[in-house]
Structure 1
Amino acid sequence: MAIGQKLEEARNRKGISLREASESTKIRGDYLSAFEAGQFDIDLPEVYLRGFVRLYSRFLGLDQDAVLSDLNLEMGNTSSRSAKKSLGSLTPPDSTEGSDYSHAPAPPVKSSVEPANLPNLVKPLLIVVVGIVLLTIVILIAFSGGDDTNQGEIQDPPSGTPSITETNSSPSPSDTLTIAGEHSLRIAVIAPIQHLILRNEGGPFPETNQRTREFKNLPAGWEGTLTFKDSFKCYCSSLENLRFFVDDGSEKKIEGEGSGNFTWQPE
């Protein structure tokens, strides 16, 4: 009985379709159809062809060695095929049953499965690579944006920086400060502020031992107290919503709206 007929009858006995067999073995359906039709001259390396036939035979419950022996007889042994390629001989190979070709070792099943799984591996790998490239581009844009430099750091205020005014014009005795001393800074938020950065010009803040403090999404009514030395710089995304007090002195506000920087130091 021909190999293709054996494969087809075995599949029919199992009561499965070519599609189900392809999904179970991970071998393309057109290859399985060609095997059952006895067409083994498909565009596949011989080691893959033999591996696929061996895997399909095992799946159908057939004797793998017997099927491969029949395949060898139908295709010719490997050495005769190599001789035909190198010498250009048209002499058909000896197909007697006593030939050693029926005992040729079968290739490992692993090598036959890998080509069918390659398309399943390439797609996720491409997705990961593209995701990494896009993430790298986003990070580069975020750190190199020209117009948004104020969002990540406090810069020296330009000539047009809003001035600081006191809402209470009559100073209290605590408004007289020494330049080299430490000062208490109380921040009050009268309306939501998305981003607030403070930098201690005289050294680190004692509360965190860092020179910079950053706050985000501050709600209306929020207050905080810090200790700084000499002077401080501030970036605020909504200057009109910020009030501050130095050494519990008079309330101070910034003459301006929107985002901007300012510096406070004793007069």
Structure 2
Amino acid sequence: MSQRPDSDQEMPLISHLTELRTRLLRIVAAILLLFAGLFYFSQDIYALVAAPLRAYLPEGATMIATGVASPFLTPFKLTMMVALFLSMPIILHQIWGFIAPGLYKHEKRIAVPLLVSSILLFYAGMAFAYFVVFPIMFGFFASVTPEGVEMMTDIGQYLDFVLTLFFAFGVAFEIPIATFLLIWVGIVDVETLRKSRPYVIVGCFVVGMLLTPPDVFSQTLLAVPMWMLFEVGLLCGSMVKRRDDEEAAAAEENDSSSNDQPPAAQP
């Protein structure tokens, strides 16, 4: 038998909207506070993000700013995105605080590890892109630059490019969470996903082709981790599903044994 949520008392719509507004304001305040604290270091932050490309620029070449306001707006935009990424734990905490009262206790036991894992996996995807993918990718681009062409990248275009890859790898590393949820909710079963493994592998390479530059190294560096993370999610989902089935079978057996016992004799 499923346990009921902690509170069965329904809140009026106005109370829900008021709480939602309060939590949204907290999220915005957290992002603005982080942005205010990081803005002084905006130039240093951009230099850090641009380091993987600058390491492969030809001797004497530099990055350029083609827009009038790009030297200010580009680090400004980057600092805002960094503040948003760093505030993800706060954002998810506020979302959790809003939806948690409506969840069952067994759902809460699963949801908390999922939230923590999703944050860590998103950051792991960004770190993988920065430390592994970027050096290989920019080294490849520098090696195929045509003769007579000097590699001088615009800072605004570079920022848009790396932000897209950061987001793509961060989302790609959420595959274990998505796979686990599909199994846990019951949308698909473990055997169906196992039989679909060849299609998943092909899909990973297609996504890698769409989200990364047109070179085989970048596509492989995204596709292979996606496939391995799918296997991790499949393993975790099968373990939790097996445990839930065992608990359900044990509960059913206890119910049947209690029903088979004869009633106590009347004195």
Say yes or no: TM over 0.5.
no
Higher helix share: 2
TM-score with structure 1 length normalisation? 0.24
Flag the structure with higher strand content: 1
Larger radius of gyration: 1
Question: Which structure has more RCO (C-alpha within 8 Å, separation ≥ 6)?
Answer: 2
